[in-house]
Structure 1
Amino acid sequence: MARKRVSPNRMELMKLKRQLMTACKGHSMLKDKRDGLMKNFLALVDETLALRKATDSLLAQATSAMGLARATMGAKQLQEASLQKGSKLQFNVSVKRIMAVETPVFEPLVSLETTVSGRQLPYSLAGTSSELDDAVNKLAEALPSMIKLAEKEKSLELMAAEIERTRRRVNSLEHVMIPELQAMIKEIQSKLSENELANQTRLMKVKDMIVEAAIRQQRAQMQESE
């Protein structure tokens, strides 16, 4: 990448030093944010894995119960019962902030415990087996875990994206912007030192010339007086 060309003067040097100070502060803040995000992300991963394990266990039981229902009722009768329209489950979706990341919160308008325990089956009990009732019960028991799992997995997805964005910004500051500013500052300081040395050299030459001219003038005056 071509380095930005700057004028080698003290005003530009002060400007670049201020930019470097701001970049270093931003780099430190972003590293803290990245580390905080990673800490929360890993804790959420542990929670999500435990919840997924519990949810998978509940769904395995429901799948097993549904298999028994299919064996006792037959696939066609089970399909007809499954296609019956049930009650809707409605949610409020809000957000909570984790290290400035907006993560979803799913809040059922009706308590899931009430929904699970006091629900009405969408199909007629006549012509269906108790195994189907058991399967539906187990699916209903798994519902709260499934909803919570969806909430946590979406939160993980959003946090992972934010961690990646923050990591890229940290790397950009650390490996591109800060070294570039440091290099420009060093270059200007070197140019200013060269200019100062050149000015001192010129001043010394001018001083020597003045002294030499004064000596010549003094010699001329002495010769005239003789």
Structure 2
Amino acid sequence: MPAINVNPTRQELTRLKGRLRTSIRGHKLLKDKRDELMKQFMDVVRENRALRKKVEEGLARAHGSFTVASALMSTEMLEQSLMYPKQSVELDMTFQNIMSVNVPQYHFKTRSEEPGEIYPYGFAATSGELDGAVEALSGVFQDMLKLAEIEKTSQLLAEEIEKTRRRVNALEYVKIPQMEEAIKYISMKLDENERSNTIRLMKVKDMLLKEAIEEKREADARAVEAFGGHPDDPGEL
């Protein structure tokens, strides 16, 4: 018996064969999608690794400069220098479709294009190390934003790869074998029914032939009784 309940009819056999063809095509498409997603995912992972290293190095430089600046300046002066920023940032988000996966894209835009706008203080009372720290943070900020975009993309692609992999395995190891088993079962049942019908027809034919022979014998016997001899003997007529 197959794993799924089916009626052994030709209509059900035709329906299952159609579903099997569709499932095989879907299985191939899903495998192609999974392979392309894996390729895209590996590209994103490589980019993520390189960008994360760059961001960590930039943050380390900024942290080192801030550490030196805090040693050279008083805490009050450092807090006062960074209390009121001059530059502002606008962040927009759009989506890009990668193999039916909508991944975010962040767009960074500053209010002013002037490089000096990143410094919210005057240079007379501050340390040069603070300038270096602010500049390092300004340079690493866009990379951090790109890193967030790439990590979210890799997360979404990984989730889609896992879903696609489960669908491929379900079709390959469950659905398609079940349908093939059901088709085989129905075909065997139909062949068995056809053989049974053929045997019944042969038996009916033998019965009809036997009845015809008996009727002919009875007719011949009545003819012999009627004419007093064999109906095929002309001398008796």
Give the structure-2-normalised TM-score: 0.86
Measured after TM superposition, the shift of residue 84 of structure 1 is 3.5
Unaligned runs of 5+ in 2: 225-237
Q: Percent identity?
A: 42
Distance in 1 between residues matched to 2:76 and 2:200, nearest whole Å? 103
What does the per-residue CA deviation read over 1:99-142, in whole Å, with 9 as the maximum and x for residues that have no partner? 22211111123489x36x23242245454322212111111111
Q: Secondary structure at the match of 2:89?
A: coil
2:96 maps to a residue whose letter is: K
Max radius of gyration: which structure? Answer: 2
Does 2:8 match 1:21?
A: no
Distance in 1 between residues matched to 2:111 and 2:83, nearest whole Å? 24
Q: Secondary structure at the match of 1:109?
A: strand
Matches within 5 A, 1:55-94: 55-75=55-75, 77-94=77-94
Unaligned runs of 5+ in 1: none
Measured after TM superposition, the shift of residue 95 of structure 1 is 1.3
Q: Corresponding residue for 2:31?
A: 31
1:40 maps to a residue whose letter is: Q
Distance in 1 between residues matched to 2:92 and 2:78, nearest whole Å? 32
Q: Corresponding residue for 2:234?
A: none
What does the per-residue CA deviation read over 1:130-176, in whole Å, with 9 as the maximum and x for residues that have no partner? 22121111111111211111111111111111111111111111122
1:214 maps to a residue whose letter is: A
Question: Aligned pair count?
Answer: 223
Does 2:191 match 1:193?
A: yes
Distance in 1 between residues matched to 2:155 and 2:89, nearest whole Å? 24
Distance in 2 between residues matched to 1:18 and 1:26, nearest whole Å? 12
Distance in 1 between residues matched to 2:195 and 2:74, nearest whole Å? 98
Measured after TM superposition, the shift of residue 224 of structure 1 is 2.2
The equivalent position to 2:130 in structure 1, one of 132, 136, 140, is 132
Q: Corresponding residue for 1:49?
A: 49
Tell me how large the CA RMSD over aligned residues is. Answer: 2.1
Does 2:83 match 1:122?
A: no
Distance in 1 between residues matched to 2:40 and 2:192, nearest whole Å? 52
Give the structure-1-normalised TM-score: 0.90
Distance in 2 between residues matched to 1:88 and 1:75, nearest whole Å? 24
